[in-house]
Chains A and B, each alone.
Chain A
């Protein structure tokens, strides 16, 4: 067991316009990319990010060793209940996840 953020080279998140957040997992190596492709299913990421069903989009980019997740943010950027204007701390939810 190890944390995803310890295995991957970098995990970052950012607003993508006012309505979306995107999380980029830079795996660093093909070995880590393959480990996370197998050991970190979309359903697990969805659960951590509070996403239902197929609301979480996953993009796998093997040539970059990157796995990207995008979702509609629960609170529109900067609206009354939004806590994180730039969505930059959402990455923590994946980075702290335990991976087999």
Chain B
């Protein structure tokens, strides 16, 4: 039997402190929390940085470090700093070291690094150890070299190795969302299907309860399955809230792939038991023939500059698409005439907010809105070029008339300068798995004692 306390879906998202205190009363064997995923897009992996503020991360981590110290059990975070690149593990270590000093705690910290040198991926390519996932993306040495960061998703084995060091705190790079929760129950020989299924249900914290924003839940794993329960006052787990979470962010509601196998929940049963708990059994773990880890990679896809203009004049709102199309044609001609730029040298889009900015070509409604926000998006191979093109757009967005004979119109610019330089934009460019002979061969494990020196 293993009790895992999950304070929330991600460090930095916030949790109910009273619920955390209630969770500690149950004497969990481990506290496990996620630090991120690809959910927020490619920038964080591409740049190797965190989505959440350092101050929010530090204050929540302080509460968890105090809770861990009171219980004397391990505290584990997976996918440090949103993306789990090595730089983000070091960022969490820096925060942990500051807190150890401030709280007067003496700690052994295990660091599990998931970043992949491009050389290792290229060798694996030659050895036929890289396989496509669906949808298949092209992979070759040039693609690997173009990535600013590549991470492999650690599974339960690597987290177990980190726990086996006897560390008080494990700071892990990229892991699967579930591995940090499933690792200890699996190490203690709890039911494997139950361990992975319970981990999937718990990975977003209280999202599997009737009070999703309260954060804290606990899962009790045993030799036949698991029981999940909420810790916030008035929160409940129901058969519906728990089983529905298996659908969340999951393309297939029955199967979940993990390093070393897959979880099959097609025969799982959900039963409401005492105290707002839900008991789950019948989940199956299927071991695979080869041990694979998923890869994630992101690379720079260009540099971007935005210009915003607002149309409120009724005649312009009604003709916004025509107006925008006309501007686009004129500015493209001007860029060719003045700078010798062809359409392949840059990307320009005037996205009309209020018309179809969200759904694009799939939008089915066609209504005249009160106003239209014109978001001009310029992407080019350098920031200087993107800025220059955006500046060429500026007079058109400010004054372009629909007809030749009208008095020069002026539209609303919300900002000065009008151009917003966004810096590099990134794109995900890997959707592959890598075969490993030993789960640790693509990961690096270190330990440090805090406070330093």
Please name all residues of chain B whose beta carbon is closer than 8 Å to the beta carbon of A77 when the two chains form the complex. Answer: 38, 41-42, 428
Beta-carbon contact of B428 and A80 below 8 Å: no
Number of B interface residues at 8 Å Cβ cutoff, please give it.
Answer: 39
Stretch at the interface among B72-80, B191-199, B357-365, B438-446: B357-365
Q: Which residues of chain A are near B134, meaning CB under 8 Å?
A: 19, 72
Judging by beta carbons under 8 Å apart, are A79 and B301 in contact?
Answer: yes
Which of B160-168, B245-253, B309-317, B392-400 contacts its partner?
B245-253
Task: Check A16 against B301 for contact (C-beta < 8 Å).
Answer: no
B364–A96 CB distance below 8 A: yes
B426 within 8 A of A: yes
- Those of B173-227 within 8 Å (CB) of chain A: none
Considering residues B43, B247, B358, which has the most beta carbons from chain A within 10 angstroms of its beta carbon?
Answer: B247
Q: Does A84 contact B (CB under 8 A)?
A: yes
Q: Indicate which residue in B38, B135, B251, B428 contacts A79 across the interface (CB closer than 8 Å).
A: B428
Nearest chain A CB to B4 CB, angstrom units: 24
Q: Which of A14, A66, A90 contacts B249 (CB 8 A)?
A: A14
**8 A Cβ contacts from B345-370 to A:** 347, 349, 351, 357-362, 364-365
In the complex, what distance in Å separates the CA atom of A48 from the CA atom of B359?
Answer: 11
Are A93 and B244 touching (Cβ within 8 A)?
no
Query: Once the chains are docked, how many angstroms separate the CA of A15 from the CA of B249?
Result: 6
Task: Compute how far the CA of A66 lies from the CA of B248 in the bound complex, rounded to whole angstroms.
Answer: 12
B362 CB contact (under 8 Å) in A50, A70, A76 = A50
- Minimum CB–CB distance from A53 to chain B (whole Å) comes to 14
| Chain A residues touching B, range | 35 or more
Assess whether A19 is in contact with B135, with CB atoms less than 8 Å apart.
yes
Q: Which residue of A lies closest to B304 (CB)?
A: A80
Q: Across the interface, do A93 and B431 meet the contact criterion of CB distance under 8 Å? A: no
B41:A78 contact, CB within 8 angstroms: yes
Interface assignment of B437: CB less than 8 Å from any CB of chain A: no
**Cβ of A16: which chain B residues have Cβ within 8 Å of it?**
249-251
Do B243 and A64 touch across chains, with their CB atoms under 8 A apart? yes
Contacts of B250 in A (CB 8 A): 16, 22
B427 at the interface (CB under 8 A from A): yes
Q: Decide if A15 touches B39 in the complex (CB within 8 Å).
A: yes
Q: How far is the CB of B304 from chain A (nearest CB, A)?
A: 8
Alpha-carbon distance A63/B244, docked complex (angstroms)? 11
Residues of A within 8 A of B361 (CB): 50
Interface residues of A in 25-75 (CB under 8 A from B): 26, 48-50, 57, 59, 61, 63-64, 66, 68, 70, 72
Say yes or no: A85 contacts B360, CB within 8 Å.
no
Asked if B253 and A78 sit within 8 Å, CB to CB, the answer is no
Among B306-330, those with CB < 8 Å from A are none
Selected from B351, B357, B359, B379, the residue in CB contact (under 8 A) with A93 is B359
Binding site for A on B (CB under 8 A): 38-43, 134-135, 240, 243-244, 247-254, 296, 301-302, 347, 349, 351, 357-362, 364-365, 379, 425-428, 431
What would be 11 A-B contacts, judged by CB atoms less than 8 Å apart?
Answer: A14-B249, A18-B296, A50-B361, A63-B243, A68-B253, A77-B428, A78-B43, A79-B42, A83-B359, A89-B358, A89-B359
- Sort A-B residue pairs by CB-CB distance and give the 9 closest, nearest first: A78-B41, A70-B251, A16-B251, A18-B428, A20-B251, A78-B42, A79-B427, A72-B135, A85-B41
Query: Apart from A16-B249, A16-B250, A79-B42, what 5 extra A-B contacts exist at CB < 8 Å?
Result: A18-B38, A78-B42, A79-B301, A80-B301, A96-B365
